[in-house]
Amino acid sequence: MQHQNRLRPFFENITFDRDDNEMILNFGPQHPSAHGQLRLMLHLQQEMITKAHPDIGYLHRGMEKMAENMIYNEFMPTTDRMDYIASSSNNYGFALAVEKLIGLEVPRRAKVIRMLLLEINRLMSHLFWLATTALDIGAMTVFLFAFREREYLMDLIEDYCGARLTHAAIRIGGVPLDLPDNFIADLRRFLDKLPENIKDYEDLLDTNRIWRMRMEGVGVISKEMALSWGCTGPMLRASGVAWDIRKEEPYELYSEVEFKVPVSDKGDNFARYRIYMEEMRQSAHILYQVADMYEETIKNNQTDLMAHAPKYISAPKIDIMTQNYSLMQHFVLVTQGMRPPVGEVYIPTESPKGELGYYINSQGGPYPYRLKLRAPSFWHTGILTDLLPGHYIPDVVSIIGTTNIVFGEVDR
Amino acid sequence: MRAYTPKDDVQAKSYYTDRFYVAPQVPKQDVLSDEVFTADLEAIKAKFEVLEAYIQVEQMVVYINAKDNVDVIKLVKEELDYTQLSEMSAIDWIAKSGQFEIFYQMLSMGKRKRIRIKCFISKDEAINSVEKLFRCADWSEREMYDMFGIEVNNHPFLKRILMPYDWEGYPLLKTYPLEGDEFAAWYEVDKIFGKEARDIIGPEIRDTARVDRYDSERFGRLGHEVPKGTKITGNEPKTPLAYQEEGGVFLIDRFDEEKSVIITDRNR
């Protein structure tokens, strides 16, 4: 007997030709420029988009649900899988939220190492953004150039923690490891070359006629629209709002380093591109200062990497192996998990994509009662609903490119 | 006798808690300890009923009545300069009090302050949409509806956002198990082949580490591959690592495992 084939696609909600000459086009979820699993339903009049309906959820893994069933330290590697282009930023946001919940102070050297990781991740993420967006628009050379530099950074991270993409390089209460011997020297060598590299990208793109035609005046987000849609990070700063959490609500050691926050009031794709380029320069500037800070901690003999809080954080390995009480604590913390106090926090950090916030509601148990992940890309995808109408089909690709959405983060 | 597990909250529970353990609290400060928050709270109190207010981890938390939510957020946005709705979602307290707690996390860039406006609704109640004030609430409220089943009044397009449109059940409820319910377990099978195929296909294998050494069709025998359907004796010779056709490809050398090098020095 012939079984009915239910895998055959059906188009009950997609009509290709209607009386009013409107075409409904299905874009994605498998599309090279959809940056993951974005499905867009586009209503078209000729080539102009009249209505856009982003459809997400193809990468939904239920991280908030998983968090409710995991002890706090167990959840750390899961956060890597949100924004997998800059995974240390996610680790850091979660670690900071739990530390605020507990009320923990992190040792200075751990803070310096975290700053290094955060800024390296920002560079990695921006380079990746530049590479993929340029490739979407057709600039293959920039893709190869940017990936070359990103590769160097991934090697640096690999030297530090052994992983290249999903780092899990930050712990609640500090960092697990000190930097390897030649890390700072390698980093400096990279930073010394970076301005030339950025110059190379800009020489290829800034005055490139095709690049400017695809970027300038396309995808203009007004200030009101950006605020109303909850845009953050470069998306917000390109629309004329000078708001960088690192500057305005400094966490870690950002109050001690000097850097500028690039802002533009144009709000178009080109403004966002310029902001990403400028932020890379600022990140390099921060990294130089943090590298000096690291050398100072060596001089001052500040060797602690984890906070001392026996109720929440395991003792250093040497204590666990030699001290009975440390071993007992470690056993309880691994098998049962730490129990933060009853209360709730919402801690925002400036990830490369925007405001990455962790809302944690703790009821005093070893599992969070509710954990809400505020991922910037979620709303940067939502804004496509209002942004795309009025644009033409080729603009869709460049607009999706400059929103810098990552679907691990949108769908969580 | 089997240990009793509560059915209204099936999430992971600590297997041991000291009988005399009293959980500490994250300290709460009085609103009066911060001038900006005091002024904000006065402005809200002048027009609406405030059930409770305090400062926790540098952010003000204000409890209001659920029916006032749109008006309070409008006031906070237009008169108190909280121009961004960072986040909103719900917390499931059904097991404890039959209620949902809904929170709106707001940011004022002018004052560099963040507040959290919270309200309770009972299980069957709906909440009014704030989508007219903040467009981002369009997606947040859809997500809240998707995850908790909370209906939102006056929402322009209240449909599921992360889960499929035809999904049954609300995943973030405490009554929803982590591994999913029966509907979730058979979703693909039911949808593609029909319920009658359940017996033929069988339940999904959730053990990712499972290797069946007699399975000649999947990846379990990497390095010792045999043709499909072959009976496996366990004495198969090792398959050499080769990634190209026998004749080779023009200009490209055939991969030879013996001659390959692992690069360890980046600066070589």
Greater confidence, B252 or B95?
B95
CA distance A299 to chain B (A): 29
pLDDT at residue number A123: 94
For residue B200, pLDDT over 80 is answered with: yes
User: Considering only CB atoms, which chain A residues are within 8 Å of B56?
Assistant: 343-345
Q: Do B16 and A363 touch (CB under 8 A)?
A: no
pLDDT at A343: 93
Whether the CB of B134 is below 8 Å from some CB of chain A: the reply is: yes
Contacts of B26 in chain A (CB under 8 A): 101, 103, 340-345, 362
Do A357 and B16 lie within an 8 Å CB cutoff? no
Report, as an integer, the average pLDDT of A353-376.
93
- The answer to whether residue A398 is domain-embedded is no
And the tokens for A323? 């001290």
What pLDDT score was predicted for residue A3? 46
Long-range pairs of B219-226 with CB within 8 A, sequence gap ≥ 24:
none
A213: pLDDT strictly greater than 80? yes
Of A70, A100, A248, the CB nearest to B57: A100
What local confidence, expressed as pLDDT, does residue B265 receive?
76
Q: How does residue A13 score in pLDDT terms, banded at 50, 70 and 90?
A: very low
Whether residue A382 and residue B83 make contact (CB cut-off 8 A), yes or no, is: no
Residues 34-63 of B with CB under 8 A from A: 56-57, 59, 61
CA distance B233 to chain A (A): 36
CA-based Rg of chain A, rounded to a whole angstrom?
Answer: 23
Residue A300 to chain B, least CA–CA distance (Å): 31
- What pLDDT score was predicted for residue B228? 72
* Cβ–Cβ gap B12/A70 under 8 Å: yes
Q: Please tell me the predicted confidence (pLDDT) of residue A16.
A: 52
Residue B258 above 70 pLDDT? yes
CB < 8 Å to A366, chain B: 14
pLDDT band at B257 (very low <50, low <70, confident <90, very high): confident
**Which CATH superfamily does the domain covering B28-127 fall into?**
NADH:ubiquinone oxidoreductase Nqo5 subunit (3.30.460.80)
Structurally, chain A folds into a number of domains equal to 1
If you average pLDDT over residues A7-27, what whole number do you get?
62
* SS3 sequence of chain A: CCCCCCCCCCCCCCCCCCCCCEEEEEECCCCHHHCCCCEEEEEEECCEEEEEEEECCCCCCCHHHHHHCCCHHHHHHHHCCCCCCCHHHHHHHHHHHHHHHHCCCCCHHHHHHHHHHHHHHHHHHHHHHHHHHHHHHCCHHHHHHHHHHHHHHHHHHHHHHCCCCCCCCCECCECCCCCCCCHHHHHHHHHHHHHHHHHHHHHHHCCCHHHHHHHCCCCCCCHHHHHHCCCCCHHHHCCCCCCCHHHHCCCCCCCCCCCCCCCCCCCCHHHHHHHHHHHHHHHHHHHHHHHHHHHHHHHCCCCCCECCCCCCCCCCHHHHHHCHHHHHHHHHHHHCCCCCCEEEEEEEEEECCEEEEEEEEECCCCCCCEEEEECHHHHHHHCHHHHCCCCEHHHHHHHHHHHCCCHHHHHC
Cβ–Cβ of A57/B105 closer than 8 Å?
A: no
Query: What pLDDT, on the 0 to 100 scale, is given for residue B121?
Result: 94
pLDDT bucket at A360, cuts 50 / 70 / 90: very high
Question: Per the domain annotation, does A201 fall within a domain?
Answer: yes
* ipTM of the shown complex: 0.86
pLDDT of residue A2: 43
Mean pLDDT of B221-243: 71
User: Which of A370-374, B161-165, B257-261 has the lowest average pLDDT?
Assistant: B257-261
| Mean pLDDT rounded to a whole number for chain A | 89
How far away is chain A from the Cα of B216, in angstroms, using its nearest Cα? 26
Residue B246, amino acid: E
What would the pLDDT profile of B27-69 be if each residue is shown by its tens digit? 999 888 888 999 999 999 999 999 999 999 999 999 999 999 9
Residue of A nearest to B11 (CA): A69
CB < 8 Å & 24+ apart, contacts of B246-253: none
Q: Please check whether residue B191 touches A, CB under 8 A.
A: yes
State the residue range of the domain holding A273.
63-365
- A102: domain CATH number is 1.10.645.10
Among A372, A385, A407, the strongest candidate for a mutation testing the B interface, having the largest count of B CBs within 10 A, is A372
- Least Cα separation, residue A176 to chain B (angstroms): 24
* Chain B: residue whose CA lies nearest to A410: B162
CA nearest to A37 within chain B: B162
Q: Is residue A351 part of a domain?
A: yes
Find out whether A75 and A269 touch, Cβ atoms under 8 Å: no
- Distance (Å) from the C-alpha of residue A301 to the closest C-alpha of chain B? 30
Structure confidence at residue A24 (pLDDT): 82
Which residues from A are below 8 Å from B28, CB to CB?
343
Mean pLDDT confidence for A277-298: 93
* Pairwise CA distance, residues A208 & A141, whole Å: 13
Q: What percent of chain A is modeled with pLDDT above 90? A: 62
Which residues on A lie below 8 Å from B13 (Cβ)?
Answer: 365, 367
Banded pLDDT at A12 (limits 50, 70, 90): very low
- Restricting to A residues 29-68, those with a Cβ less than 8 Å away from any Cβ of B are 56-57, 60, 62, 64-66, 68
Query: Under an 8 A CB cutoff, do A379 and B139 touch?
Result: yes
pLDDT in tens, A174-196: 999 899 988 999 999 999 999 99
* Per-residue pLDDT tens digits for B86-141: 999 999 999 999 999 999 999 999 999 999 999 999 998 999 999 999 999 999 99
Contacts of B114 in chain A (CB under 8 A): 346, 348
pLDDT(B15) > 90 = no
State pLDDT tens for residues A289-332.
999 999 999 898 888 889 988 889 998 888 899 999 999 999 99
Confidence grade of residue A6 (pLDDT, cut at 50, 70, 90): low
Q: Does A69 touch chain B (CB under 8 A)?
A: yes
Give per-residue pLDDT as tens, A97-143. 999 999 999 999 999 999 999 999 999 999 999 999 999 888 888 99
**pLDDT cut 90: percent of chain B above it:** 46
Question: Which of B 74-103 lie inside 8 A of A, CB atoms?
Answer: 83-87, 89, 91-92, 103
* pLDDT tops 60 at residue A9: no
